[in-house]
Amino acid sequence: MRTQFLISAALAALTTASPVLINRQLTTVTISGTTPTSYPQPVTSIRGFPIHSSCNGTERNQLEKALGDTIKLARQAAQHVLSHGSTSELYVKYFGNASSAEVVGWYEKLVYGDHEGVLFRCDDVDGNCQQEGHWRGENATDETVICPLSYTTRQPLEALCGNGYTVATGKLATYFAADLMHRLYHTTKIGEGAAEHYADSYAECLELAEKNPAEAVRNTHTLQYFALEVYA
């Protein structure tokens, strides 16, 4: 979007006869009529989530790919809300009449937030790896263990909607990226104890949007469903 803006500013500059001063960093456009404001762009250097040395090369590769896909899901979801506001059919379906800032915020925290210490590890440090993975909870509130089972069962985002999957009927953890989104909201740094479980199944999430929009905007499963449906 930023690129688009710069291009349209450049085109506007080319097609006007009025005096125009363009500098690479700061664009000052002096023409009559309406023009977009220009201002220094925010810093966007994103530092990825740390991965613990207990992850071997293969696990690390898969985690990096899946976390990259989580960011992709979050970015598209935030972009959808920024572009269409709080009245799009999809927004109302999942978030009811709630205002949109909190929704955008939860997604953008995943993309631009401080990720230091939000650690993913592969060792069975708490002895709980009989499952796909787990949040370390009281043992380390910003840490997540992704156990061996995840690497063989979670699907890549490219497979979305394959094998008869639909957002409404499929399991939220089918795709590694959506599963990691959920796990990230469990961490204190990302979820702040506010992004939580308020409703679980697809039907319950849609009901929450109608009955309690204020909870829907911070319901982890709702945030996952919405992001998957925007992406699908």
Ligand X SMILES: *[C@@H]1O[C@H](CO)[C@@H](O)[C@H](O)[C@H]1NC(C)=O
131 touching ligand X, by CB under 6 A = no
182 touching ligand X, by CB under 6 A = no
56 touching ligand X, by CB under 6 A = yes
* DSSP string for 134-173: EE-GGG-TT-EEE-HHHHHHPBPGGGTT-TT--TTTS-TT
Shortest Å, Cβ 50 to ligand X: 18
Q: Are 220 and 197 in contact (CB under 8 A)?
A: yes
By CB under 6 A, name the one of 8, 41, 139, 166 that touches ligand X: 139
Stretch that binds ligand X, among 46-54, 64-72, 81-89, 124-132 (CB under 6 A): 124-132
Q: CA-to-CA distance for 188 and 3, rounded, in angstroms?
A: 34
Q: Are 225 and 94 in contact (CB under 8 A)?
A: yes
Residues 6+ apart with CB under 8 A from 108: 74, 78
Shortest Å, Cβ 165 to ligand X: 24
210 touching ligand X, by CB under 6 A = yes
Nearest partner of 229 among 175, 166, 156, judged by Cα: 166
Instruction: Give φ, ψ of 176 to 5 degrees.
Output: -55, -45
128 touching ligand X, by CB under 6 A = yes
96 touching ligand X, by CB under 6 A = yes
Q: CA-to-CA distance for 213 and 222, rounded, in angstroms?
A: 11
136 touching ligand X, by CB under 6 A = yes
Q: CA-to-CA distance for 184 and 214, rounded, in angstroms?
A: 20
Stretch that binds ligand X, among 12-20, 32-40, 122-130, 163-171 (CB under 6 A): 122-130
153 touching ligand X, by CB under 6 A = no
By CB under 6 A, name the one of 84, 213, 215, 229 that touches ligand X: 213
117 touching ligand X, by CB under 6 A = no
> By the criterion CB under 6 A, which residues form the site for ligand X?
56-59, 96-97, 126-128, 134, 136-137, 139, 148, 151, 210-211, 213
